[in-house]
Amino acid sequence: MECDNNRRKKIRLVATGGTIASRAAGRVATEGYTPSVIPAEQLLKDLPELSERMDVSCEQIFLKPSSAITESDLFDLSERVNELLMSDECDGIVITHGTDTMEETAYFLNLTVKSSKPVVVTGAMRPQEVISSDGALNLYNAFLCAESDLSRGMGVVISMNDLIISARDAVKFSTFKTDAYQAPLYGVLGTVRNGQVDYAYRPFKRHTENSEFAGMKKTALKRVEILYMYEGCDGMAFESALERGCGGLVSAGTGNGGVIGHIMKKYNDAGEKEAADLPILVRSARVPTGGVSGAYRKETPGGLRVIPSHDLNPQKAYILLKLALAVTDDPSEIKRMFEQY
């Protein structure tokens, strides 16, 4: 299929900051730069080629490193994106974002955006002024992706390093290389090459307008913590989470989502009354690929509160669990959500 370019598309840049908006100390200083200082208007001014094929506009929703983005920021961003996409004056959105937590924000939007219009998240691994900076081309390609009719209904995607990756599958795989974002388990959806957007696959899991979280308004979400499993860990973090009243836990488990025996004993030995006080435990894995199967299943009141994340990594399982707990505390319903999303 070819992109329909009979009408100039109206694409909105919603800028949040990140390395793409940072200034380096010199042309070879790829680290130690001043983060998140270049405004959205300047990013567009540096790409006059965009206005030759589409109508572009921008706004700065916030200007901060992605590690500083809060739960409240995520809702503000999602609500603003939904507001823009409801208008006939917006055909698609590009979001600039720091790469450190880009996959979490993109997945949050994939679950809460209520539109089939394109939403494309992009950023940079190198600040603007350095030799071979990747920001300008990443931003240009993201706009092409948002303009393309082929991007409709694909859910939120990340466009980086000439690749188009589903927000659900995108993982940051390098701390410094420009090809940091990959889709290690299922592969990329498509590419942007020499100005041409090309898709090879379509996401199957529920997203955007087909998500039961689509259009969710800002609300106070229950506390969820991620517990990292490692050789010799003693369960102190788990006990602390219980004391602080966490509504949910995600384990970054060993192998196929292995959780230390101290924690599993707590769930397996719990009676009906004790189980009700235990947080939902989602078993994910610290292993990059393969996911977590549903092999563990104890038909006890506490065991039923232990749910596999399937192929969601811990940080994405964290996002889904927080949204799930906002609408239900029924373990069977949350289990269904992890199967469908």
Q: Which two structure tokens, joined as six digits, stand for 231?
A: 């050789």
- pLDDT value, residue 3: 47
Cβ neighbours of residue 87 under 8 Å, at least 6 residues apart? none
Q: State mean pLDDT over 141-168.
A: 98
Q: Which residue's structure tokens are 């889904």?
A: 320
275: Cα within 13 Å, side-chain hemisphere? 20
Q: Name the percent of the chain lying above pLDDT 90.
A: 93
**Does 110 have pLDDT greater than 50?**
yes
- pLDDT value, residue 298: 79
Distance CA 54, CA 245 (A): 50
pLDDT-derived band at 68, boundaries 50, 70, 90: very high
User: What region, left, alpha or beta, does residue 17 occupy, with left being phi > 0 and alpha being psi -120 to 50 degrees?
Assistant: left
**Domain residues of the chain, as ranges?**
10-210, 224-340
Other Cβ atoms within 10 Å of 331 Cβ, number: 17
Q: Which two structure tokens, joined as six digits, stand for 229?
A: 């499993």
Q: Which of 241, 111, 245, 93 minimizes the C-alpha distance to 166?
A: 111
- pLDDT value, residue 7: 83
- pLDDT value, residue 297: 73
**Does 5 have pLDDT greater than 60?**
no
Q: State mean pLDDT over 58-87.
A: 97
User: What region, left, alpha or beta, does residue 16 occupy, with left being phi > 0 and alpha being psi -120 to 50 degrees?
Assistant: alpha
Distance CA 131, CA 152 (A): 34
SS3 155: coil
- Model-wide pTM > 0.85: yes
pLDDT-derived band at 160, boundaries 50, 70, 90: very high
**Matching fold, domains 10-210 and 224-340:** yes
> Which of residues 202 and 298 earns the better pLDDT score?
202
pLDDT tens across 114-132, in order? Answer: 999 999 999 999 998 899 9
300 a catalytic residue: no
Catalytic residue among 19, 101, 112, 208: 19
CATH class of the domain defined by 224-340: alpha beta
Cβ neighbours of residue 174 under 8 Å, at least 6 residues apart? 125, 180
163: Cα within 13 Å, side-chain hemisphere? 20
- What angle (nearest 5°) sits at the alpha carbon of residue 186, between those of residues 180 and 188? 50
Q: State mean pLDDT over 100-108.
A: 98
SS3 107: helix
pLDDT-derived band at 35, boundaries 50, 70, 90: confident
- pLDDT value, residue 296: 78
**Does 277 have pLDDT greater than 50?**
yes
* Architecture (CATH level 2) of domain 10-210: 3-Layer(aba) Sandwich (3.40)
Q: Which two structure tokens, joined as six digits, stand for 58?
A: 């921008």
- DSSP label of 151: G
Q: State mean pLDDT over 125-146.
A: 96
> Which of residues 16 and 235 earns the better pLDDT score?
16
- pLDDT value, residue 2: 44
Quickly list DSSP for 6-63.
SS--EEEEEE--SGGG-B-SSTT--SS-B-S-S-HHHHHHT-GGGGGTSEEEEEES--
- pLDDT value, residue 6: 66
Distance CA 55, CA 89 (A): 10
Q: Which of 139, 130, 171 minimizes the C-alpha distance to 31?
A: 130
- DSSP label of 336: H
- pLDDT value, residue 196: 97
**Does 93 have pLDDT greater than 80?**
yes
User: What region, left, alpha or beta, does residue 213 occupy, with left being phi > 0 and alpha being psi -120 to 50 degrees?
Assistant: alpha
- pLDDT value, residue 1: 39
**Kind of pairing between the strands at 92-96 and 119-122:** parallel
- Name the amino acid, one letter, at 55: D
- pLDDT value, residue 299: 85
